[in-house]
A and B are shown apart, each in its own frame.
Chain A
């Protein structure tokens, strides 16, 4: 079975450019999570969806960040405009249900570098 799929795996962009990260959750999972990992702050939850609906976006750092989940098999995380401090690894994870705390399965991550 395919796991969580993220694209691109690596992204290098210049400050001010728009960046879009993509995620395909595991089929059948109905919860999706976006995380950011940096050396300084560790793993941070940015936003999560349940049945395609955003439940909590309090972790989104600024208005420059936005996330969508138009259907059960696709989500995007967009940064516009990007800044060097956005450089990090961005993980997408999915799980079956949020209430019963099924374990989250993570994608391979997107390493973003903003110069």
Chain B
């Protein structure tokens, strides 16, 4: 069985603070993929990143960075110098030999 846990239900930060969203996953598949999606207040789901299980190299894209650690089955997402526009629900997802399994999401509120 595959499972994604996002323990943080809601996070609130002040603008310009750094924030890390946690994601822990469970799978028995040796090959799998991890994803992060953003759901802003407008409601659409926006793809942010995909990582495969063979590539543990961290990735940085502007203010966003992702830390993948197989040893702890985690794929955490950090936003540096947060902005109000980052306010959204963020979903971590896992795909092994089955379709995507989503976590419950973390609601991030960035306060000006």
Contact = CB atoms under 8 A, between A and B. Distances in A.
Chains A and B come from one and the same complex:
yes
Interface of A: 33, 42-43, 45, 48, 56, 89, 91, 93, 98, 101-109, 111
A42 B105 contact: yes
Interface of B: 33, 35, 37, 43-47, 50, 52, 91, 95, 99-100, 102-105
B43 A56 contact: no
B99 A48 contact: yes
Contacts, number: 40
Given A106-B44, A106-B45, A108-B43, A101 B95 contact: yes
A93 B44 CA distance: 11
Interface of B is mostly: strand
A10 B40 CA distance: 18
A103 B50 contact: yes
B83 to A, nearest CB: 23
Contacts of A43: 91, 102, 105
A52 to B, nearest CB: 16
A108 B103 CA distance: 20
A42 B104 contact: yes
Given A42-B102, A109-B43, A109-B44, A101 B33 contact: yes
A89 B100 contact: no
Given A89-B43, A103-B35, A106-B45, A45 B104 contact: no
Contacts of A33: 99-100
